[in-house]
Amino acid sequence: MRTPLDSPFSPGSDTVPKVWAGRTSQLNDWRDVLRPRRLAGIHERGRTILGEAGSGKSSLVRRIAREATEAGDWATPQLRIPSGTDPIKRVASALLDLSSTAGLSSAREKRIGDLLRRVETVAASGISLSVRAQDGPEPYTALTELLIEIGRAAMRRQNVMVMLHIDEVQNIADEHARSQLLIALGDALAYEETVALPGGPQVDLALPIAVYLTGLPEFEDMAGAQAGAAFARRFQTVTLDAIDDADLTAALQTFVTEGWPVATEAGGAERVFLAADAQRAIVERARGEPFLFQLAGERAWYAGTDDLITAEQVASGWRGAVHEAETHVQRILERLPAREREFLDAMAQLPPPERTLTNIARALDYHRASDAGPTAQRLDLIRRVIRRGRPHYTFRNRAVGAYLESDWPE
C-alpha cells in the first residue's frame, strides 16, 4: 500500500529527488574533471549553472554537494541570496563555518586569528565602508584570504575538496557587491600555492577549491557586462536545456521492472510498480522539465493506494496539477521582455514547417528578417527557449511550446 509519506517524487527546488533524471554531463564533470583536477593541483574554473525556474539547477548542485560531503569534502549548504540582501555577509558567514570544519578556529597563529576576526566583522557588516580601516584593504579581500586558508587546510588533509554553492545569483543587483563577490571567489580559484616536492624541487599548485554559482539565465548578461572576459576566464557557464525523454524514461525504468520499495505497517517491505503506459504518460506530461516530471510523478503516486500506478491514475493526478503546471510556465513567460514574448507568440501561431526567421519577422511586421535576429539569438543562446534551426525554428523548452500552442497534455 502506497501513501504520500512513501512518495519518491519531489517537485521542490530545495531537495534532491530520489527519482533522478538526466544531467549526466554536469554530474560527470564534477566526478571526472573538476574534483580530480583540483585535487591534483590543476586549475579548473568555477562553474556557473543557469536555467529557468524548474530546470533543476539548484537540485543538481545540491546533489553534487551531497556527493562531495559523502566523499569527505567540505561543502557549504546551498547559500541562497534573497533579493536586496548583501551577498558578502552571507558568504562570509559560510566561510567562517567552513573554517571551523577545517580546524582554523583553533589555530594558534596570530595571522589566522586576525583574519578570522576580519571576516567576522565582514559577516556582521558586509561591504559597508564603515568596516574598512583607513588605507586598509577592501572587506571582500578577507573572504579571498580565508578561502585560501581553508583550501590550504584541505590540501594538507589530502584528498579533500572545498566546495561553495551560491544560489539565486541573479538577485545580486548591486554592481559593486556583485563585482566584489566575483573577484573574491575568482582570486581564490586562481591562487597558486608553492609546494615542495620530495627531493627538493618546488611546484605551484592550485588549491582544492570548487565554486558553483546557480541562477536564472540573465545572470550571464549581468556578470558579463561588468566583468566580461575576466568572468569567462574564471567561471565556466552552462545554461540547462530540457531533459531528453529517453533520460526521463530511463529514470522510471526501475519502477516498471523492479518496483519502488515501501515499508509496510508490519515493518516489512513491499514494492509499488509503474505500468509501462503510465511511464509514457508521465514522460509526455513532463515535456522535458524536471519540475513537471516530479510533479506528474508525485500526483500519480497520490492518485491511488494500491501497488500499481496506472496511466489512468497519471491522468487523474495530473488534472489536479494542471493549474500548478501552467503557472510554472506562465512565470517563465512573464519574466521575458515584451519583444521576446511577442517573438514566441508569433512563432507559436505559425505551423511548425513555416517557423522560419523570415516568417516570424513578417508576422511581427518587421521590415527585415534581420530585425528579429538579435531577439531570436537571445531566446536561443541565453534563454534556451527556442532552437534556431536551418531553416525551421523549434521550441527547445517544450513546455513553453506546448503552452503557447495550446497543446498542453490533459
Q: What is the pLDDT, as a whole number, of residue 154?
A: 94
Residue 131 has pLDDT above 60, yes or no: no
Task: Indicate the pLDDT class of residue 357, thresholds 50, 70 and 90.
Answer: very high
| 332 and 340 Cβ atoms separated by less than 8 Å | no
Which range, 134-138, 159-163, 230-234, has the best average confidence (pLDDT)?
A: 159-163
Interhelix angle 322-334/311-319, rounded to 10 degrees, is: 60
| 192 and 204 Cβ atoms separated by less than 8 Å | yes
pLDDT digits (tens, 9 = 90+) for 137-166: 677 888 999 999 999 999 999 999 999 999
Exposed/middle/buried for residue 367 (C-beta within 10 Å: 0-12, 13-18, 19+): exposed
Task: Indicate the pLDDT class of residue 227, thresholds 50, 70 and 90.
Answer: low
Residue 134 has pLDDT above 50, yes or no: no
pLDDT digits (tens, 9 = 90+) for 304-323: 999 999 999 999 999 999 99
Q: What is the pLDDT, as a whole number, of residue 177?
A: 86
Section 46-58 average pLDDT: 92
Distances 189 to 185, 302, 363 between C-alpha atoms, Å: 6, 46, 48
pLDDT digits (tens, 9 = 90+) for 195-213: 888 877 889 999 999 999 9
Section 233-260 average pLDDT: 94
Q: Alpha carbon 166 to chain centroid distance?
A: 9
Closest by CA position to 290, among listed 69, 63, 31: 63
pLDDT digits (tens, 9 = 90+) for 288-300: 999 999 999 999 9
Closest by CA position to 138, among listed 104, 181, 175, 81: 181
| 185 and 88 Cβ atoms separated by less than 8 Å | no
Domains of the chain: 24-239 (3.40.50.300), 243-320 (1.10.8), 329-404 (1.10.10.10)
Section 107-116 average pLDDT: 79
- The structure's pTM equals 0.90
Mean pLDDT of the chain: 90
| 99 and 164 Cβ atoms separated by less than 8 Å | no
Closest by CA position to 214, among listed 332, 329, 62: 62
Q: What is the pLDDT, as a whole number, of residue 197?
A: 81
Distances 68 to 36, 41, 73, 75, 190 between C-alpha atoms, Å: 12, 17, 5, 7, 21
DSSP E strand boundaries for 190-345: 192-196, 202-206, 209-215, 235-239, 260-263, 269-274, 308-309
Distances 247 to 24, 243, 383, 403 between C-alpha atoms, Å: 9, 7, 22, 22
Section 364-374 average pLDDT: 93
